[in-house]
Amino acid sequence: MQLDESRVNPLLPDIKLDEKISFHYNINDVLNGSEILILSVPSSAMRETLEKISNNIHPEIKIVNTSKGFELNTLMSMSEIILETLNINDDQIITFYGPSHSEEVIKNLPTAMVSACANENNSKIIQNLFSTENLRIYTSKDMRGVEIGGSLKNVIAIASGICHGIGYGDNANAALITRGLHEITKLGIAMGAKEQTFYGLSGIGDLIAPLP
């Protein structure tokens, strides 16, 4: 109810949310007539959230996932959990990743992201929906690579923060980031991703954004 009244997210206290945005407290109310569903929940809550809505999903709905990570017990990616839980095809899932701190996006600072889907037309639908003068959206068919790059970057970012905190300097940090990207790329290729994906927004881009 607080958002209804104040239209201010406590995490972004200087920004008032647009009147066009409505708030719902019953998750299934959001699904009525929805052609596109954007999932922005913690990766640890992804399966539970999907199970709650699985019986109310339109068979042709497009699922846009912004959650990054792997499920702890199964090591499944977010798209794999979506496929396992919902009765949809893989080309209905769009992975929407990239270096995009919310506090910068909402202030209209220049940002670029990638819309990845097996179906290029669906990637372009999301590209057209979100593109603005300050937000550039690229497309990719390598959803696997985009997911892996966007999820594994946190491991390197944490290590980089430790490196910075104990005063190892720029030389060590540069080596860590470079070799970290190499390891992410090797793992991604072994898991079926394309090498060039990791040199894009959801590889090196997502890796740079959280660094100290």
CATH of 145-208, one of 1.10.10.60, 2.40.37.20, 3.40.50.800, 1.10.1040.10: 1.10.1040.10
pLDDT band with cut points at 50, 70 and 90 for residue 1: low
Domain extents in the chain: 145-208
* Beta strands per DSSP E along 11-81: 36-39, 62-65
Q: Which of the following is catalytic: 20, 62, 68, 153?
A: 153
pTM more than 0.85:
yes
Tens digit of each residue's pLDDT (9 = 90 or more) over 81-108? 999 999 899 999 999 999 999 889 989 9
9-13, 73-77, 81-85, 190-194: least confident range: 9-13
Nearest to 118, CA basis, from 159, 63, 155, 188: 63
Tens digit of each residue's pLDDT (9 = 90 or more) over 151-203? 999 899 999 999 999 999 999 999 999 999 999 999 999 999 999 999 999 99
Contact 138, 196 (CB under 8 A): no
The per-residue pLDDT of the chain, averaged, comes to 93
State the angle between helix axes of 78-85 and 46-53 in degrees (0 to 180), rounded to the nearest 10: 30
Six-digit token string for 71: 């499920």
Q: How far apart are CA 142 and CA 117, in angstroms?
A: 7
194 flagged as catalytic:
no
What pLDDT score does 212 carry?
Answer: 59
